[in-house]
Amino acid sequence: MTHSRYPLLYQVNTRTWLTERGRQLGRRATLDDVTEADAARWAEQGFEWIWLLGIWQTGPAGQRVSRQQPEWRREFEETLPDLTEEDIGGSCFAIAAYEVARELGGADALARLRVRLAQVGLRLMLDFVPNHLAPDHPWVSAHPEHFVQGTAEDQARTPQNYFRLTPDGPVFAHGRDPYFPGWPDTIQLNYGRPEVREAMQAELLRIATQCDGVRCDMAMLILPDIFKRTWGIPMAPFWPEAVAAVRKVNPEFFLLAEVYWDLEWTLQQQGFNACYDKRLYDRLREGVAGPVRDHLRAGLNYQNRLARFLENHDEPRVAATFAEGPHQAAAVISFFCPGLRFFHQGQLEGCQRRVSPHLTRAPQEPVSPTLAEFYRRLLRALRSSVVRNGQWSLLELVSAWEGNPTAGDFLAFGWTADDGARRLVVVNYSAHPAQAYVRWPWPDARESQWRLTDQMGPEVYDRSAIGLLDPGLYLDVPAWHAQVFEVTQLS
């Protein structure tokens, strides 16, 4: 099957999704309860990737920590006012074994689901968490040397970063981001040891037999310079060799990196197909067009391998973060850029409560009719081959008249396909009306008439090519308004 150059990914919180399905069925649901109809609906919406978050086996150690952390429990109670102990399953990133969780149906259920997804053209993405494991992973007792160890002094000085499993046992380090305290439900792998790199590469290869791609959690933490800065331990590079090993088995295997700190290009060069574009998200949150436009001036060899998103399991809900107008404008900007288009469970319905990956149940929330209709139109527009496989360009805008600065509030993109299909995307990313001329990106057929049909609204405009080429397409657009024009030649 031919895959799109710029596909759409849908992240499913597997545990909460199956809890809701179980509520509907009146029994515990497993991966076998993700039906052909579910897969067909995702495919009809235009998704090509389904990322199942949290399918690996967790254990009682991680669950116990999750239930005992006061600050975490406060967050859980804000999400679920009727919280019960059973709702706290433990973080799905505190992995006790890279085996499909028994309560989700095990490896056989996942294999059957993968077949159902493939039948409608969907590829399956799973998690790989390279930096750490759960404290009750079998390696902790069988190979304690696989993990970063400290001293009693380390534990006394930074108890948030070090712990003992037994009173007289060795001091281990928690997995951590160097800018924050350790994650208390994890134990840090020691990538300075060749046998650890080999063992984790073997785990990645085993995961790759069960799916079509992986999302790699905090992938930059095991870059040699980051690892040494965090732990003072030198290590040989992990990703280039691991990626090469996977691609030798499956050349089309897809690797998505969660990455921050301007290290996206570094990981792209080490073999990742796509990296989180957190910079775009942060600049959209600022609500100013200029920094967003500057970000999108980067070369396409970089932009083509970015994952554009407005929310995920780590970020707050976009419907709770952005007002409705900025939300819709930011979505059109994000998802009509080149790259992987990354959507999150609940986003399409306008859910407002972030659900922690420690929880196995999500709150019942009403659907926003306005946002549901907006995303229906957006996904329909994104189904077109021209925006999945065509050529993208950032368009120039010029002032509508002398002294009018609002041209700087626009972002405009052109999309062109080999078959002649064209799209023009125009967004006023500001809180006031704006006017400008956008330079027409298609100089062919100078004597033609063109029709612009907005796929996000009811507007249809007929324009002469002569006027479009000089001075350009005139824009007079309300605050936070976005248009996606299908551009067709009339004569």
Domain spanning 8-387, CATH class:
alpha beta
pLDDT in tens, 367-412: 999 999 999 999 999 999 999 999 999 999 999 999 999 999 999 9
Q: For the chain, what are the domain ranges? A: 8-387, 390-489
Closest CA relative to residue 6, chosen from 52, 48, 44 = 48
Average the pLDDT over 158-168 and give the result.
95
- Judge contact between 308 and 328, C-beta under 8 A: no
C-alpha–C-alpha distance, residues 78 and 56, integer Å: 26
Sequence-distant (6+) residues with CB within 8 A of 140 are: 133, 147, 165, 172, 187
In this structure, which CATH number among 1.10.3720.10, 2.60.40.1180, 3.40.50.300, 3.50.50.60 belongs to the domain 390-489?
Answer: 2.60.40.1180
For residue 280, pLDDT over 90 is answered with yes
Angle at 378 between CA 374 and CA 381, to 5 degrees: 140
Q: Encode pLDDT of 179-232 as tens digits.
A: 999 999 999 999 999 999 999 999 999 999 999 999 999 999 999 999 999 999
Report pLDDT digits (tens) over 229-245.
999 999 999 999 999 99
455: pLDDT strictly greater than 90: yes
pTM, 2 dp: 0.96
User: Do residues 18 and 5 make contact, with C-beta atoms less than 8 angstroms apart?
Assistant: no
Please tell me the predicted confidence (pLDDT) of residue 13: 98
Q: Residue 50 pairs with which residues in a beta bridge?
A: 10, 124
Q: 393 - beta bridge partners?
A: 414
Looking at residue 1, its pLDDT comes to 57
Query: Do the domains at 8-387 and 390-489 have one common CATH topology?
Result: no
Do strands 274-276 and 306-309 pair parallel, antiparallel, or not at all (unpaired)? parallel
Q: What is the pLDDT of residue 467?
A: 87
